[in-house]
Every structure is written in C-alpha cells, then in structure tokens.
Amino acid sequence: MFESPLTLPPQLDWQYKDELALAEWSLRARAYNTDIANGLLVIFTLISLAGTYWHRTLGDHHILIDVLLFCVVMSGAFSMTHQTTKFAYRLTASGLEFCEWKEFPEWLPRMLKWAAGITCVFMLMLATVHPAALIGAIAGPGMMGLMYLKMGTSSQFREMHERYRHKVKPWSDFTKMTVFRRRSIIGLHFEWYNPNADGGKGRMIPWETLLYCRKSQLDDLIAIIREHLPESTPYEEAYIPIYA
C-alpha cells in the first residue's frame, strides 16, 4: 500500500525516513465532527435563501444581484464548514509516524475583498432605483469588508488557521484499537502523563490518535496495524467522537 506522499512543508520531516515503510499514505480530511458542520451549512443555506427571497421582493430586476449575493454568502459558509487538514502517515516496524498541517488560505481574504467591492458597487447602483437596497449594501458588502479587515490584520486569526504537528508513537504504547467504518477512521488509544492535572499532582490522561484513510485502504491498514500491536490489544468497531 504505497502512494506518492504529499510533499511535507519545511516545518515537518520524518524521523524514521530511512526505515522501510510498511504502509504510507496521505490525504486531506475534515478533522472534526462533520455531522455538526453539515448541519451548519444547511442553516446557512436556509438563511441565504430567505434573504434572497426578501431581496427579490424589491423587484424582478434584482435577479443578478440575488444570485451574486447567494453565491458569495454560500462560498464563505462552505469555506468555514468544509475546511480540510492535510495528513501524511508512515507505518514502520518502529511504530506509527504521522504529520499533520493546515496552512492559512491566502485566497480567502482576497476573495472577500473583491466580492465586497463588486457587490458594493452593484448595491449602490440599485440604491439609486430603490433606497431599500442600501440595507443590502450595509449588511452584505459592509460585513464582508469588516471580515476582510479582521482577517488581513489579525495575526491571531492566521495562527488559528495554521497548524504543524509531527507525532511518533511506538506500537507498544497503544492499549486499544477502534475502527469507525462510516468515516474510515482508525483510533489508537494510549495514555500520557500530564504533570499539571489534578491541581499539579499529575496523572495519566487517556488519549486517542486518529488515522484518517480512504475506504479502499481501511481493511489493509487494519490488518497491518493489528499484526504489529501486542496480541492482547482490544479491538472494536464503533463510533468515534471527534471534538476538534
């Protein structure tokens, strides 16, 4: 099961790159609860349709603006509810190694900037025909302009949308294996010591490493991983909650 892996960013590199890979793969995945995200997209769609219907009451000559506003709003909503993270995995005799990274989408502020400018021009032109269009000019382009300024000048916003992680775990660390077939996710359970837990007393924290893969890879990966885990490691197929 070998594929051409994604080129890793300069911030990341394999620790066991000279070791033979039992399996390696890379993909983009939605590393969060997709049920909630899909529900939010439906809400955005209903609100956009309701706003478009209200705007249509201003007159039939606003069809082009209605379509433009709907596309802009839904593009922004889709970019929020369907963000993906890049993953690259390597399985070796030493254990599991994976890289995870998410880079700031440089196109998003530019898209909002141009969409706000173009939509504002159209809305101001319509305002000469119907004063009520000024409400749309403020609510639509005005909000997009504020979003653009916030995104373009906030370092915290950029940091929230950037992440670079590299993890290495030996097979002996894992205490349980869970498979979530609906989303083709493998969960490997382990514990780590947190010295700050319980008011500084410290204790072991149960955790889970998630491996995202394609459906065509799932069964082969399960076999490879189970072969290298201790024989006593529990295995189950169940729903895996994702809180990221």
Lowest mean pLDDT among 9-18, 23-32, 72-81: 72-81
Looking at residue 109, its pLDDT comes to 63
Express each pLDDT in 71-121 by its tens digit: 666 666 666 666 778 999 999 999 999 999 876 666 666 666 666 666 666
User: What is the Cα–Cα distance from 31 to 47, expressed in whole angstroms?
Assistant: 26
- Evaluate whether 72 touches 113 at the Cβ level (below 8 Å): no
Looking at residue 50, its pLDDT comes to 72
Q: Which helix (H) or strand (E) holds 89?
A: strand 85-92
User: What is the Cα–Cα distance from 224 to 227, expressed in whole angstroms?
Assistant: 5
Q: What is the pLDDT confidence band of residue 2, given thresholds at 50, 70 and 90?
A: very low
Q: Are residues 154 and 127 in the same domain?
A: yes
Residue 243 inside a domain? The answer is: no
Express each pLDDT in 170-208 by its tens digit: 999 999 999 999 999 999 999 988 888 878 888 989 999
Q: Which is more confident, 197 or 59?
A: 197
Q: What is the mean pLDDT of residues 149-155?
A: 56
Considering its fold, how many domains does the chain have in total? 2
In percent, the amount of the chain with pLDDT more than 90 equals: 33
Q: Are residues 189 and 214 in the same domain?
A: yes
In percent, the amount of the chain with pLDDT more than 70 equals: 58
Task: Give how far Cα 4 sits from Cα of 84, 88, 97, Å.
Answer: 19, 10, 16
Q: What is the mean pLDDT of residues 120-149?
A: 58
Q: Are residues 76 and 155 in the same domain?
A: yes
> Which residues, at least 6 apart from 146, have a Cβ–Cβ distance to it below 8 Å?
none
Structural domain ending residue among the three candidates 131, 160, 189: 160
Q: What is the pLDDT confidence band of residue 141, given thresholds at 50, 70 and 90?
A: low
Q: Are residues 131 and 232 in the same domain?
A: no
CB-based burial of residue 182 (10 Å sphere; 0-12 exposed, 13-18 middle, 19+ buried)? Answer: exposed
Closest CA to 117 of 176, 72, 79: 72
Looking at residue 138, its pLDDT comes to 55
Q: Are residues 186 and 131 in the same domain?
A: no
Q: Are residues 129 and 189 in the same domain?
A: no
Q: What is the mean pLDDT of residues 213-241?
A: 94
Q: Which helix (H) or strand (E) holds 227?
A: helix 215-228
pTM (two decimals): 0.69
Helix axes 107-127, 143-153, angle to 10 degrees: 160
Place of tokens 């319980």: 198
Structural domain ending residue among the three candidates 160, 185, 205: 160
Residue 128 structural domain: 32-83+104-160
Looking at residue 242, its pLDDT comes to 83
Residue 207 inside a domain? The answer is: yes
Looking at residue 147, its pLDDT comes to 59
Three-state DSSP state, 17: coil
Q: Does residue 225 surpass a pLDDT of 90?
A: yes
